Chain A
Amino acid sequence: MSHDQGREKLIRMANQIATFFMSQPEADRAKGVATHINKFWEPRMRTHLFDCLDEGASDLLPLVIEASVMIKRPTVPAKVGASGGISKPL
Chain B
Amino acid sequence: MTLIHETDYGTPVSRSEKQVTLTIDGRSITVPEGTSIMRASMEAGIQVPKLCATDMVDAFGSCRLCLVEVEGRNGTPSSCTTPVAPNMVVHTQTSRLKDIRRGVMELYISDHPLDCLTCAANGDCELQDMAGAVGLRDVRYGYEGGNHVRSRNDGEINARWMPKDETNPYFTYDPSKCIVCSRCVRACEEVQGTFALTIEGRGFESRVSPGAHEHFLESECVSCGACVQACPTATLTEKSVIAIGQPEHSAVTTCAYCGVGCSFKAEMRGEELVRMVPWKDGQANRGHSCVKGRFAYGYASHKDRILNPMIREKISDPWREVTWEEAFSHVATEFRRIQYQYGRDAIGGITSSRCTNEETFLVQKLVRAGFGNNNVDTCARVCHSPTGYGLGQAFGTSAGTQNFDSVEHSDVVIVIGANPTDGHPVFGSRLKKRLRQGAKLIVIDPRRIDLVRTPHVEAAYHLPLKPGTNVAVMTALAHVIVTEGLGAEQFIRERCDWSEFEDWAAFVSQEAHSPEATESFTGVPADLLRGAARLFATGGNGAIYYGLGVTEHSQGSTTVMAIANLAMVTGNIGRPGVGVNPLRGQNNVQGSCDMGSFPHELPGYRHISDDATRETFEKLWGVTLNNEPGLRIPNMLDAAVEGTFRGIYIQGEDILQSDPDTKHVSAGLAAMECVVVHDLFLNETANYAHVFLPGSTFLEKDGTFTNAERRINRVRKVMTPKNGYADWEVTQKLAQAMGLNWNYTHPSEIMDEIAATTPSFALVSYDYLDRMGSVQWPCDEAHPQGSPIMHVDGFVRGKGKFIRTEYVATDERTGPRFPLLLTTGRILSQYNVGAQTRRTENVAWHEEDRLEIHPHDAEQRGIKDGDWIKLASRSGDTTLRALITDRVSPGVVYTTFHHPDTQANVITTDFSDWATNCPEYKVTAVQVSPSNGPTEWQEDYNDLSRRSRRIAGKMEAAE
**Which residue in B340, B628, B629, B738 is a CB contact (below 8 Å) of A83?**
B340
In this complex, how many residues of chain A approach chain B with their Cβ under 8 Å: the count is: 36
Q: Which residues of B contact A16 (CB under 8 A)?
A: 554, 914
- Taking a contact as CB atoms under 8 Å apart, the answer to whether B345 and A20 are in contact is no
* Interface residue from B343, B632, B804 paired with A78 (Cβ < 8 Å): B343
Q: For the complex formed, measure the closest distance between the CB of A29 and the CB atoms of chain B, giving whole angstroms.
A: 11
Whether B635 lies near A45 (C-beta < 8 A) is yes
A16 to chain B: closest residue by CB:
B914
Let me know if A17 is at the binding interface, CB within 8 A: yes
Task: Give chain B nearest CB distance to A42 CB in angstroms.
Answer: 5
What is the chain B residue whose CB lies nearest that of A24? B804
Contact indicator B638/A42 (Cβ below 8 Å) = no
Docked-complex contact A39 and B340, CB < 8 angstroms? no
Bits for B624-664, please: 1 = Cβ < 8 Å to A, else 0.
00001111100100110111100000000000000000001
In Å, the complex CA distance between A9 and B661 comes to 14
Whether A42 lies near B337 (C-beta < 8 A) is no
Chain A residues near B372 (CB, 8 Å)? 84-86
Determine whether the beta carbon of A90 is less than 8 Å from that of B630.
no
- How many whole Å from B853's CB to the nearest CB in chain A? 30
Interface string of A17-58 (1 = CB under 8 A from B): 101100111000000000010111111110000000000000
Which chain A residues lie closer than 8 Å to B644 at the CB level?
44, 78-80
Contact with A along B370-391 (1 / 0, CB 8 A): 0010110000000000000000
CB <8 Å contact, A1 and B558: no
- Contact A20 B914, beta carbon cutoff 8 Å: yes
Q: Does B336 count as interface, using CB distance less than 8 angstroms?
A: yes
Most buried by B among A19, A20, A42, A87: A42
Chain B residues bordering chain A, tally (CB within 8 A): 49
Beta-carbon contact of A39 and B914 below 8 Å: no
A84 near B339: Cβ-Cβ < 8 Å: yes
Distance (Å) between the CB of A11 and the closest chain B CB?
12
Tell me the smallest distance from the CB of B512 to a CB of chain A, in Å: 12
- The DSSP consensus for interface residues of chain A is loop
B344 within 8 A of A: yes
- In the complex, what distance in Å separates the CA atom of A31 from the CA atom of B635? 23
Residue ID in chain A nearest B667 by CB atoms: A1
Would you give the 0/1 interface string for B787-806, flagging 1 where the beta carbon is closer than 8 Å to chain A? 00000000000000001111
Partner of A86, one of B339, B600, B664: B339
Which A47-90 residues have a C-beta within 8 angstroms of B?
74, 78-90
Per a CB cutoff under 8 Å, which of B641, B739, B803 touches A1? B641
Residues of A within 8 A of B804 (CB): 23-25
Query: What CA separation (Å) do A82 and B806 show in the bound complex?
Result: 43
Contact of A19 among B342, B629, B914 (CB under 8 A): B914
Q: Are A42 and B739 in contact (CB under 8 A)?
A: no
| Contact between A20 and B342, CB atoms less than 8 A apart | no
Interface residue SS majority, chain B:
loop
A23 CB to closest chain B CB (Å) equals 3
- Whether B847 sits at the interface, judged by CB under 8 Å, is no
Q: What separation, in Å, do the CA atoms of A38 and B664 have in the docked complex?
A: 26
CB-CB contacts below 8 Å: B782-839 with A: 803-806, 808, 811
Q: A88 vs B86: C-alpha distance in the bound complex, in angstroms?
A: 82
CA distance A40 to B609 in the complex (A): 11
Report chain B residues within 8 Å CB of A74. Answer: 628
Q: Which of B333, B599, B642, B664 contacts A89 (CB 8 A)?
A: B333
A residues near B641, Cβ cutoff 8 Å: 1, 6
**Closest partner residue, chain A, to B624 (CB atom):** A85
Q: Are A20 and B341 in contact (CB under 8 A)?
A: no
A25: which B residues are within 8 A, CB to CB? 503, 804
B340 near A88 with CB under 8 A, answer yes
**B639: chain A residues within 8 A (beta carbon):** 44
Q: In this complex, which of B341, B372, B638 has the most chain A Cβ atoms within 10 angstroms of its Cβ?
A: B638
Is there an interface contact between A36 and B915, defined as CB atoms closer than 8 Å? Answer: yes
Give the distance in Å from the alpha carbon of A89 to the alpha carbon of B739 in the complex. 12
User: Contact: A86 with B336, CB < 8 Å?
Assistant: yes
Q: Is B917 interfacial (CB 8 A cutoff)?
A: yes
Assembled-state Cα–Cα distance A74/B343 (Å): 15
Question: Are A9 and B628 closer than 8 Å at their CB atoms?
Answer: no
Instruction: Judge whether B342 and A42 touch: CB under 8 Å.
Output: no
Nearest A residue to B663 via CB reads: A1
Q: Do A82 and B343 touch across chains, with their CB atoms under 8 A apart?
A: yes
Chain B, residues 703-743, CB within 8 Å of chain A (1/0): the string is 00000000000000000000000000000000000110000
- Chain B's closest residue to A36 (CB) is B915
B332 contacts A by Cβ under 8 Å: yes
Q: How far is the CB of B318 from chain A (nearest CB, A)?
A: 27
Knowing A24-B804, A25-B804, A43-B628, the reply to whether A83 touches B638 (Cβ < 8 A) is no
**Is B638's CB under 8 angstroms from A6's CB?**
yes
Contacting pair B917 A13 (CB below 8 A): yes
A80 and B343 alpha carbons, distance in the complex (Å): 7
B607 at the interface (CB under 8 A from A): yes
B910 within 8 A of A: yes
Could you mark each residue 877-915 of chain B with 1 if its beta carbon is under 8 Å from any beta carbon of chain A, else 0?
000000000000000000000000000000000101011
- In the complex, chain A residues whose CB is within 8 Å of the CB of B609: 38-39
CB within 8 A of B638: which of A1, A24, A80? A1
Q: Mark B338-378, 1 if CB is under 8 A from A, else 0.
A: 01111111000000000000000000000000001011000
Q: List residues of chain B with CB within 8 A of the CB of A9.
A: 638, 910
Interchain CA distance A7-B901 in the complex, whole Å? 32
Distance of A9 Cα from B79 Cα, bound (Å)? 70
Contact present for B344 and A85 (CB under 8 Å)? yes
Q: Which residues of B contact A81 (CB under 8 A)?
A: 341-343
Question: Is there an interface contact between B914 and A17, defined as CB atoms closer than 8 Å?
Answer: yes
Distance in Å: Cβ of B734 to nearest Cβ of chain A: 13
Q: Which residue of A lies closest to B500 (CB)?
A: A25
Q: How far is the CB of A85 from chain B (nearest CB, A)?
A: 6
Cβ-defined contact, A44 with B914, below 8 A = no
- In angstroms, Cα B632 to Cα A38, docked, is 14
- Contact A1:B340 (CB < 8 A) given known A16-B554, A40-B629, A42-B635: no
User: 4 nearest interchain CB pairs?
Assistant: A84-B344, A23-B806, A16-B914, A90-B336
* CB<8 Å pairs between A and B, sample of 19: A9-B638, A9-B910, A12-B811, A16-B554, A23-B806, A24-B804, A39-B600, A40-B629, A40-B916, A42-B375, A78-B345, A83-B339, A83-B340, A83-B344, A84-B345, A88-B336, A89-B336, A89-B337, A90-B332
Chain B residues packing against A (C-beta within 8 Å): 332-333, 336-337, 339-345, 372, 374-375, 503, 554, 558, 599-600, 607, 609, 628-632, 635, 638-639, 641-644, 664, 667, 738-739, 803-806, 808, 811, 910, 912, 914-917
Residues of A within 8 A of B (CB): 1, 3, 6, 9, 12-13, 16-17, 19-20, 23-25, 36, 38-45, 74, 78-90
